[in-house]
Amino acid sequence: MITIKLPMNPQINIILLGTGGGRFATITQKRRTAGIRIISEGLNFHLDPGPGALVYSINEGLNPQKLNAVFVSHGHPDHYTDAEVLIEAMTKGTTKKRGVLVASRSVLHGNETGLNSVVSKYHQQMPERVIEASPNKKFQIGNINVSVTEARHTDPDTVGFRFETSEFGSFAYTSDTEYFEGISKYYEGIRLLILCVMRPSGKPWKGHMTTNDAIKIIEEAHPEQAVLTHFGMQMIFKGPAREAKLIEKETDVPTIAAKDGMQIRFGETISLQKSKKAKQSLNKYF
């Protein structure tokens, strides 16, 4: 168990800076690929900072120098490309050894699939702490207990994350994964589940989640709220909102397809807001 002490957190604000994923969504930017910012009092971290994470953080009024953690689930460009520049921002232009980097083995060291380390050894020396994320590992940031969840993807070191709060229960992010028997055990009792659903129903792709896979996971885990993100081009063309309605109909779990810039307020209730400048609603954290 690794503990990083920060002040207590009230309500948590989750900003989906980007909702695109996969090669063609990334290179066309039909949906942004900027990842997710999670903010509360004393807590400010960026999850899977793909292309655009820096620019859209600034565009939304979220100062990257306020970060105290960067999470990278695996070594594919739509999840990691802005990690190094966010680490530089977090460490005040490398002038202060601060913050934490949480990343999979592939991100830190590369692996047998041909992936090299995608965060340089130079940048890995900048944070105060580096945590190699592997399934079932647990650590604490502030008032949040983090559990690393298993994923099965073309990068075999891919992981997801489950975040437990003492006041409001738990929320989680699956990262890229296909459905497999036992995946839902990582998300039992969850209130908010953010799923990376690359493909629509009937369009399977090894290592990735389709609408059909999301239905299975949501039926088994039965969260209070499901949010779909990380859409590939086929999902974008099919219509993520349509697929979300299908999931909700099949599971009876409220399900929404995220839009770029959407905010989720996670507290006693879970509320979702359309895109607006994040800083306007998060002024007390800046």
Any domain includes 53: yes
Which pLDDT value is given to residue 142?
Answer: 82
Q: In residues, how long is the chain?
A: 286
Domain CATH code at residue 72: 3.60.15.10
Q: Which residues pair with 131 in a beta bridge?
A: 102
Q: Is 165 helix (H, G, I), strand (E, B) or coil?
A: strand
Q: What is the band of 245 on the pLDDT scale with cuts at 50, 70, 90?
A: very high
- The token duo for 101 is 């980097």
Phi, psi of 138 (to 5 degrees): -130, 145
Residue 187 corresponds to which tokens in the numbers above?
Answer: 């998300």
Under 8 Å between Cβ of 210 and 197: yes
**Containing structural domain, residue 86:** 2-274
Confidence band for 49, pLDDT divided at 50, 70 and 90: very high
Report how far residue 88's alpha carbon sits from residue 238's, in angstroms, rounded to the nearest whole number: 38
User: What's the pLDDT at 282?
Assistant: 58
Specify the amino acid at residue 31.
Answer: R
Residue 282 lies in a domain: no
Describe the strand order of the beta sheet including 100-104 as a list of residue ranges. 129-133, 100-104, 69-72, 43-47, 36-40, 12-16, 262-266, 270-273
Q: Cβ–Cβ contacts within 10 Å for residue 22, how many?
A: 24
Question: Is 286 inside a domain boundary?
Answer: no
What stretches of 17-75 adopt beta strand conformation (E)?
Answer: 36-40, 43-47, 69-72
Please give the single-letter amino acid code of residue 248. Answer: E
Beta bridge partners of 128: none
On whether residue 180 sits in a domain, the answer given is yes
Residues 68/53, Cβ–Cβ less than 8 Å = no
Look up tokens 């999301």; give the residue: 214
Residue 281 domain flag: no
What is the predicted pLDDT for the residue at 4? 39
In a domain, 9, yes or no: yes
Query: Which pLDDT belongs to residue 257?
Result: 98
Task: Examine the pLDDT at 281 and tell me if it is beyond 60.
Answer: no
Hey, what are 30's tokens? 């039909």
Task: Render pLDDT for 166-220 as a digit per residue (tens, 0 to 9).
Answer: 999 999 999 999 999 999 999 999 999 999 999 999 888 899 999 999 999 999 9
Helices (H), 92-181: 105-109, 121-124
Angstrom distance (rounded) from CA 158 to CA 64? 25
Q: Residue 132's closest CA among 154, 153, 111? A: 111
Does any domain span residue 280?
A: no
Q: Is 251 helix (H, G, I), strand (E, B) or coil?
A: helix
Query: Would you say residue 59 lies in a domain?
Result: yes
What's the pLDDT tens digit per position in 88-111?
999 999 999 999 999 999 999 999
Number of domains present in the structure of the chain = 1
β partners of residue 163: 146, 171
What was the pLDDT predicted at 160?
98
* pLDDT band for position 3 (cuts 50, 70, 90): very low
* Closest C-alpha to 78, from 149, 29, 16, 133: 29
